[in-house]
Structure 1
């Protein structure tokens, strides 16, 4: 069970984040303010709305189905105001509402919102309106409990229910009155046990599905979030995963893995207007939090995000084994049939692999040498994984499937998985073994970039943990895992330049007059031991210009 202090800290970090929006078309929307989004909701005027964590409950809308243009809307509660009943249940509440859920019943919109402050005490309330632009009328409390957050509401025929996240005791379900939207009775059902949060509940066919989060969020590329799901023929459970394990007994089928190329730490699933939505941290943008909208389908009775088979986007990756912590490496060989091994992390292109997807399977090519992973007709357990020139043969076709927050790589021809064989030494050749639950078969895919070309010029300098000497203004290391980082400026700056660090809520958390009296270059080291985890902007300001770079604190 996660302790109350750590949970409260995690949720406070949530308040610092600003999120951009990535639509199905790949458009990026940079307007600040979205985190823990509601499902997509369509207003009376036809515009598509999202409600999100923020002061007064943050809202945006778009007139296009691909979400290519957005505009800010009025908050549900005017900034600086909130219902008076909250103070009776939540200490230290300051107007920042979490994780709203908005649905329409008849001609009325229902906005369920979370209130949290100091400690774990929290509550969920309801406001209603005839139009998403308001005015909103508060209807009062739905439920109050330790960490009662993240409401998800489902109308099922003549009945109505709300699931909500409770990190200390799991995911709970209560019944609502469909006439008022308020709580109907004192009944309460436990759906998921353990340290989980952010539920979403829906029905498809004869099954009810509950999606939920495991792991810790809000740490950029180091976020531990991943989304799991279970199903039941009854909305009150029991919910089971694909292996028949109860969600009350640590069960859960992974729906969105922790790392899927550039998409890291996905969370807070919602579904509305035929669109799946969730937020993630962009591994190709220093862990910037963004929101994905995609499609949702069902295959053999289980939900699949986006396309049914391609769970890893095309691109270049490094593959690290969970059991040995060593990387997939071709050892520099360019000979057909040469074994593929594992090695400690390095900058060599021997450890960079290009994944391309077609017709349900991946081909995996090493940047160094351009050879493809191949089973060279090996079928026995313990036989070697090798490489060969490109071929349409099934020997070079691979399934990539999720195993919790990790991946398994299975050869189409022999049906065997890439496995370390329990070895951990540099240069040990990887082996084929039957699919099992061993960590020797579990891999993390570290995203490099989206290129699928042979890239012989990549080095570790492309990664953000190293100094970037060709940039005029940067911070390093970035992300920061310790208590200090350095600001480096290689351009001349004006006299009387000031340094300011701003968090994602727009608050200045550090400022310093650098005392520069004449133009020049400089580096400056800052102690950030008092900083919370999250994303910040580092600004150099003078009377004529401001230079800005992003800082990630882990």
Structure 2
């Protein structure tokens, strides 16, 4: 949160305090209880419950069991610690509004880091409190770092990285830039002998809201640039740099140091999602759930929580609201085990979209086309090409789904959210409702409809690549004992080719051929198992080519 925009920030905090009273009355936005969440902390899981903390009076918190519905919990800091009055004398005039907290678990307890500051001044401090659970109660442990002038790293916006037995904190806003300092894992304070290292920004430039993440052998520093806290006029956007050390140097894709103004842009304003910022990462059920705030252009710029997806390409992260790649899929209800079905299998206009017993019928295959900001047009794979449509663009509970010709309106676009258990929910862009099997029916032919989200498994769906989107396997010399596992496989992971006993020693080289006929990967064969790992190739069909002195054998593998 910037100190450069006094009046805008003051108005923003007033808006936050007002909207906290109305957290369950937001306009069309599926994440329930998301309004009023500004500068969200990293989401942490304790037992079966997820917790998030945010900017606000006495440090508000909320919890969820599915990452969709968020419920108010107790404030973390009901009483202001006395040390703050000395370190930041004017903080007491700020309604005890703590900024941009972050939470982490290490050393057998939870550590909650928080910022104390005053508008328009670099006089700031970061403190820390501990608890056995995110629900509290929290015991304050005192000050971690402080700042007094613009020549200091402004002591706000803490971000904690737990890296094995080591703990690091990134922090800073404008002023001297972003710093990283090592934290003592036994106290939660700055480790003896460690001093803050500048890793980004400086000279009063607009750098704040850092988040330090490790993935593989790289450390990634996410930072916000632009200005926050001005509703629909906010200009926040997210950039990233990477390093092999948590203290840098961090460079962007062009090799430019973040201390010299570098930074690869990841996410900016798009549609209703204005001024995205303050990255936090939760790894859960094989997914990267990234928490950010944005200012809702459809709701007078109210600050809200968004949870988006992060992936990696060539060891660089990307942020997207898309949880599903464009392609052809089947959609199965978690409760009934039945699939979305164009009921009647003709695909004509007006045909009901219902649930049907799972089969290989084309009328149970659906073509997803991205339409931006995590939403999709969903089209039947049948030759008619009609799309899933909300009848009469209704938004009332009980409104049904049908097929209709493509109109490119919001009644034919669905935002797909991923829940904590890896299932998905479908939210039509024109309403707050979700797609469900009415009454949790297990009867084939039940037409799908809309209802308020309530967590019922009848509203949750598993999305699986449809067989029609894969080419049939055609193998040369298929009598040879050669197997590929797993197949299909994730595009950023890998697979193994296993040779039978008589095939070992027969083949000398294995080539992986892409759709253009180029060799994407190649290995000398020196045993019975040939493994490709961390491929980081584009999704699609590839040819596995095994070469011997007198023949070539092929298999096919799909990267998803």
TM-score category, normalised to shorter length: 0.5 to 0.7
Relative distance call for 1:37 and 1:307 in structure 2 (3 A) is closer
Native 8 Å contact 1:296 1:305 kept in 2: yes
2:299 corresponding residue in structure 1 = 285
Aligned length: 315
- Structure-to-structure mapping, 1:446-485, within 5 angstroms: 453=407
Native 8 Å contact 2:199 2:259 kept in 1: yes
Deviation string, structure 1 residues 204-243 (Cα, Å, up to 9, x no partner): 0111000111111122221111111110111111100111
For structure 1, the 5+ residue unaligned runs are 313-356, 363-391, 393-450, 456-554
Equivalent position SS for 1:92: helix
2:80 to 64, 77, 82: 82
Q: CA deviation at 1:161?
A: 0.9
Relative distance call for 1:453 and 1:285 in structure 2 (3 A) is farther
1:153 corresponding residue in structure 2 = 160
2:40 corresponding residue in structure 1 = 37
Q: CA deviation at 1:8?
A: 4.3
Tell me if 1:163 matches 2:170. yes
Root-mean-square deviation (Å): 3.2
Q: CA deviation at 1:169?
A: 1.1
Tell me if 1:238 matches 2:240. no
Deviation string, structure 1 residues 115-154 (Cα, Å, up to 9, x no partner): 0125220000000001112121111000001431110011
2:278 to 249, 258, 268: 268
- Structure-to-structure mapping, 1:328-343, within 5 angstroms: none
Deviation string, structure 1 residues 401-435 (Cα, Å, up to 9, x no partner): xxxxxxxxxxxxxxxxxxxxxxxxxxxxxxxxxxx
Tell me if 1:51 matches 2:77. no
Tell me if 1:213 matches 2:224. yes
Tell me if 1:138 matches 2:92. no
Q: CA deviation at 1:195?
A: 2.0
Tell me if 1:101 matches 2:115. no
Relative distance call for 1:233 and 1:182 in structure 2 (3 A) is same
1:197 corresponding residue in structure 2 = 208
Q: CA deviation at 1:3?
A: 10
Task: State the distance in 2 between where 1:225 and 1:310 align.
Answer: 26
Task: State the distance in 1 between where 2:263 and 2:222 align.
Answer: 9
Native 8 Å contact 1:239 1:247 kept in 2: yes
For structure 2, the 5+ residue unaligned runs are 149-153, 327-366, 373-384, 386-404, 410-560
Native 8 Å contact 1:191 1:237 kept in 2: yes
Q: CA deviation at 1:311?
A: 12
Deviation string, structure 1 residues 426-463 (Cα, Å, up to 9, x no partner): xxxxxxxxxxxxxxxxxxxxxxxxx98368xxxxxxxx
Native 8 Å contact 1:297 1:304 kept in 2: yes
- Structure-to-structure mapping, 1:277-316, within 5 angstroms: 277-306=291-320
Task: State the distance in 2 between where 1:115 and 1:220 align.
Answer: 22
Q: CA deviation at 1:180?
A: 1.3
Q: CA deviation at 1:9?
A: 4.2
1:224 to 235, 238, 244: 235
1:91 corresponding residue in structure 2 = 89
Task: State the distance in 2 between where 1:99 and 1:304 align.
Answer: 23
Task: State the distance in 1 between where 2:237 and 2:325 align.
Answer: 14
1:178 to 185, 205, 210: 185
Relative distance call for 1:184 and 1:260 in structure 2 (3 A) is same
When Rg is computed on C-alpha atoms for both structures, the one with the higher figure is: 2
Task: State the distance in 1 between where 2:112 and 2:295 align.
Answer: 26
